[in-house]
Amino acid sequence: MELNNVAFWVFSTLAVLSAIGVVFFRNIVYAVLSLISTLIMVSGLFFTMGAELIGALQIIIYAVAIVVFYVLVISTVPEFKGPTVDAGYMLMSIPVGFLIFIELAYVSIYGAWKSNTGMFTPEIVDKMGNVKAVASMLFTKYLFPFEVASVILLVAMIGAIIIGRKEHVIDEEAK
């Protein structure tokens, strides 16, 4: 077996185990650490599959920026003192989780057979480079969804600023 295949299986196994830790750890700090581990393992999967740009973006955006945001929220929000698990939700979540698992398994199996039918063949990607192939698809075929996503993020950022500012103004008026 090639080293690339061994690395893929190691990263995928560790990603699944870390994701299980995110779900089942009761301590929120352990859950966030497990989330960091999951994101790094997924980045490793991207690197083993030859998608270096996506792997690097996974580390920069998710493993650093988003997790820092989670840690900031965890440190500023007081701990919730209510019941942790409701039995009614637990009974409902088992069949829903099973259906989602079946759907993901179907998509994974179907996607494995269809994975090499994209616009860029491996020869073209080797010739162009990984970054150029992603950029050409992103800024030609998927330009409109890319711009819509950027506008949505801009609106969300402005909304967060306005919401945060209103609370600050209300606090000053109360004094």
What is the domain partition of the chain in residue ranges?
Answer: 1-78
Q: What are phi and psi of 17, to 5 degrees?
A: -65, -40
What tokens were used for 163? Answer: 């919401």
CA–CA distance, 152 with 129 (Å, rounded to integer): 30
Which residue type does 54 have?
I
pLDDT in tens, 116-156: 556 777 787 778 887 888 888 888 888 898 899 889 988 88
pTM: 0.61
Question: Do the beta carbons of residue 32 and residue 74 sit within 8 Å?
Answer: yes
pLDDT in tens, 100-118: 999 888 888 877 666 555 6
CATH of 1-78, one of 1.20.120.1200, 2.30.42.10, 3.20.20.70, 1.10.340.30: 1.20.120.1200
pLDDT in tens, 56-88: 988 988 878 888 877 777 777 666 555 566 677
